Amino acid sequence: DTGVSQNPRHKITKRGQNVTFRCDPISEHNRLYWYRQTLGQGPEFLTYFQNEAQLEKSRLLSDRFSAERPKGSFSTLEIQRTEQGDSAMYLCASSLYGVHEKLFFGSGTQLSVL
Amino acid sequence: GESVGLHLPTLSVQEGDNSIINCAYSNSASDYFIWYKQESGKGPQFIIDIRSNMDKRQGQRVTVLLNKTVKHLSLQIAATQPGDSAVYFCAENGRGGSNYKLTFGKGTLLTVNP
C-alpha cells in the first residue's frame, strides 16, 4: 500500500496522559498536514509541513499539541496532558506542492480520552 | 466568518438513480474546490476537483459544477451504486495559489438503497 499510513488506528487513554501518533506520507510528497475531525463534522486544519519546516499552525493547536517532521518524511503529533475534548479522529494528509496539488488522506487515528 | 456549508445533511437514492449533492461557499477568495468521499472508519478519499476558472468538470461517473455567481458547488453521481454510500464533503482552499489548508463543509450522508 503506497498511500498515507497512520498509526495507531485507535488509541484509548486516560485524561492527563500523553499520546503520540505517527504519519507516514506518500513517499514523494513534500507537504504533510494534520487535521482533526469530530463526529458529524468535516476535518479541521491543525498544521502543515513543507519538508521538515512547520509553516503554519491553527489556533486549534493549543500548547499541549506539538507536531514534528524531523527528516521531512514521517511526522509525529503529540498531545500532552490529554483532555476529554481531545477525543477525535486525527487525520494526516500529504501532497506534492504545485499547481495541481491534491491532498491525500490517511485513515486516521481515533483517539478516545476517558 | 467564511465557511463552507451543505444544503442537505442526508440524501437517500435508489440504486441506478443519479445523485446530486450540493454545497454553498461564502469565501469569494476561494479558487479551488474539491469533493471528498468518506466511508465509515476511513479517511476522506479524493473524488474530483475544480478550479474557479472552470464551471464544469467531469470524471468517471461524477461531475462537479461550479456557479461562482451564487457561490454554489454540486457533485453529480451518475448511476449511483451501493458502494457510493458514504459521507461526501466539499472543501475549498479559501485563498489563491497553493491548495493547502482546506476548509471542509459539514458533509452529506448519501445512502443508496438496492
In tens digits, chain B (114 residues) has pLDDT values of 345 554 458 999 999 999 999 999 878 888 889 999 999 889 999 999 999 999 999 999 999 999 999 999 999 999 999 999 999 999 998 765 455 678 898 899 999 998
Question: Which of A33, A50, A105, A110 to probe by mutation at the B interface, max B CB count within 10 Å?
Answer: A105
> Rounded to whole angstroms, how far apart are CA atoms A37 and B106?
10
Q: What is the pLDDT of residue A4?
A: 96
CB A101 within 8 A of CB A95: yes
* Long-range contacts at A5-8 (CB < 8 A, ≥ 24 apart): A5/A106, A6/A90, A6/A91, A6/A92, A6/A106, A6/A107, A6/A108, A6/A109, A6/B43, A7/A109, A8/A109
The sheet that has B19-25: what strands, in order across it? B4-6, B19-25, B72-77, B62-67, B56-58
B46: which chain A residues are within 8 Å (Cβ-Cβ)?
Answer: 102-104
Contacts of B37 in chain A (CB under 8 A): none
**Given an 8 Å threshold on Cβ–Cβ distance, is A45 in contact with B103?**
yes
Confidence at residue B99, expressed as pLDDT on a 0 to 100 scale: 57
Indicate which of B102, B106, B108, B109 best probes the interface with A, i.e. most A CBs within 10 Å of its own CB: B102
CB contact under 8 A, A42 and B98: no
Q: With CB atoms and an 8 Å threshold, state whether A43 touches B102.
A: yes
pLDDT, mean of each 10-residue run, chain A (114 residues)? 90 98 95 93 93 90 94 95 97 86 92 97
| DSSP 8-state assignment for residue A86 | G
CB contacts, 8 Å: A106 with chain B: 43
Residues of A in contact with B43 (CB under 8 A): 4, 6, 91, 93, 105-108
In whole angstroms, give the CA distance from residue B78 to residue A68: 42
Burial class from Cβ neighbours inside 10 Å (0-12, 13-18, 19+) for residue B103 reads: buried
Give the nearest chain A residue to B103 (CA atoms). Answer: A44
Q: What share of chain B is helix, strand, coil (3-state, %, to 5)?
A: 5, 50, 45
Would you state the pLDDT for residue B2? 40
The predicted structure's pLDDT at residue B113: 94
Query: Tell me, what's the pLDDT at A101?
Result: 78
